[in-house]
Amino acid sequence: MHYYMNGFSKGRNRKRLLRYDRKLYKKRHKVENMFAKIKDWRGIAIRYDRCAHTFFSAICIAATFIFYLKE
């Protein structure tokens, strides 16, 4: 089922409503929140590790901690 909402760029004065899928929007919101929580970790936010595999490992560890702790 599709719903309609006002666009973000022009505020409440927008004449045409934008169509969106509510279930997909909720999933996207969860993914964005997860990225925001991962960026709270200093080493990941500034990409402290030089090697790509080490950086990816740090992201996996941070995501695991966030998932299990439910911050």
Domain total for the chain? 1
Which DSSP state fits 17?
A: P
Between CA 21 and CA 27, with CA 24 as vertex, the angle to 5 degrees is: 150
Q: Which domain holds residue 42?
A: 2-69
Give this prediction's pTM: 0.57
Structural element, H or E, at residue 41? none
pLDDT digits (tens, 9 = 90+) for 1-43: 555 554 555 556 666 666 778 888 888 888 898 888 888 888 8
